Amino acid sequence: MQRNSTKIACIILTLFFLASSFRYEVLAQPVNKEKDAYVILLHGLGQTKRSMEKIGKSLSSLGYRVVNVGYPSTKYPIEYLADDILSNIVERYSKNPQSKIHFVTHSMGGIVVRHYIKNHILPNLGRVVMISPPNQGSELVDSLGDSYFFKKLNGPAGRQLGTDKNSVPLSLGSVDFELGVIAGNRSFNPLYSVIVPGPDDGVVSVERTKVVGMKDFLLLPQTHAFIMKSEDVIQQVIYFLEHGVFKKGEK
């Protein structure tokens, strides 16, 4: 009996060391070498760069040089945000023509990038992923944009995101760069979804996230406010930056 107990104890101890050895081998794997590419992250209207931190950490772990931009989205119109604030940031990191500059954006951040690219030359532009962008504006702005509370909360840039004659997204035309768009079709706000026609993420309709010239499009069951924190979305962002298309058939 004692001999059997000793054998069992030895087997357990051996398995423990094998498991410990395997765990150490996994943990000891070297991290990927730094890539010769920057990824500039732009958050959406009324948010902060904290909303893009999860994406940033995932990209940094793969060796990308991440620039998570915090900008006063509710203080200035889109033109100023693109031509002054974003322009100064891009200039800082675009001096080496060998280093690609990618963009990953959420919501209005995508419109800021589109306005910048339309009006500036960036020879080392890489790929762009826009998450829930109002590429054709949003009917929500048409309905609520003139209200005091909307103006107070969203500032001049917010009012430019409608579908009327003042729409900045509709004035930008098609895109001519490698763009992947990820849209959501889940909403926690039934009132907003009544205002926005068709499938939507609670702020932007699926159809209005699209833009002529985009290279790929992906629809996922996510809401506007939290889509950029989804692990499925983050993995698709990474895949597009590395391959120029989304990974279809898998989230």
Instruction: Return the pLDDT at 35.
Output: 79
| Residue span of the structural domain in which 91 resides | 35-243
Q: 248 in a domain, yes or no?
A: no
Residues 67 and 157 in one domain: yes
Residues 136 and 118 in one domain: yes
Instruction: Return the pLDDT at 71.
Output: 97
Q: 251 in a domain, yes or no?
A: no
Q: 249 in a domain, yes or no?
A: no
User: If DSSP codes are grouped into helix, strand and coil, which group holds residue 219?
Assistant: strand
Spell out the residues 6+ positions from residue 208 whose beta carbon is closer than 8 angstroms to its own: 134, 135, 136, 137, 138, 139, 163
Alpha carbons 218 and 183: distance in angstroms, whole number: 6
Is 192 within 8 Å of 224 (Cβ atoms)? no
Residues 90 and 190 in one domain: yes
Residues 153 and 73 in one domain: yes
DSSP annotation string for 228-249:
GG-HHHHHHHHHHHHHSS--TT
Q: 184 in a domain, yes or no?
A: yes
Instruction: Return the pLDDT at 98.
Output: 84
How many domains is the chain partitioned into structurally? 2
Is 71 within 8 Å of 42 (Cβ atoms)? yes
* Stated pTM of the model: 0.85
Alpha carbons 3 and 37: distance in angstroms, whole number: 61
Instruction: Return the pLDDT at 6.
Output: 38
What residues are paired with 244 via a beta bridge?
none
> What are the pLDDT tens digits along the chain (251 aa)?
444 443 433 333 333 333 333 332 223 233 446 678 999 999 999 999 999 999 999 999 999 999 999 999 999 999 999 999 999 999 999 888 889 999 999 999 999 999 999 999 999 999 999 999 999 999 999 999 999 999 999 999 999 999 999 999 999 999 999 999 999 999 988 889 999 999 999 999 999 999 999 999 999 999 999 999 999 999 999 999 999 999 987 44
Token output for 150: 């909307």
CA dihedral for 187, 178, 217, 204, sign (positive or negative): positive
Q: 81 in a domain, yes or no?
A: yes
Alpha carbons 183 and 60: distance in angstroms, whole number: 24
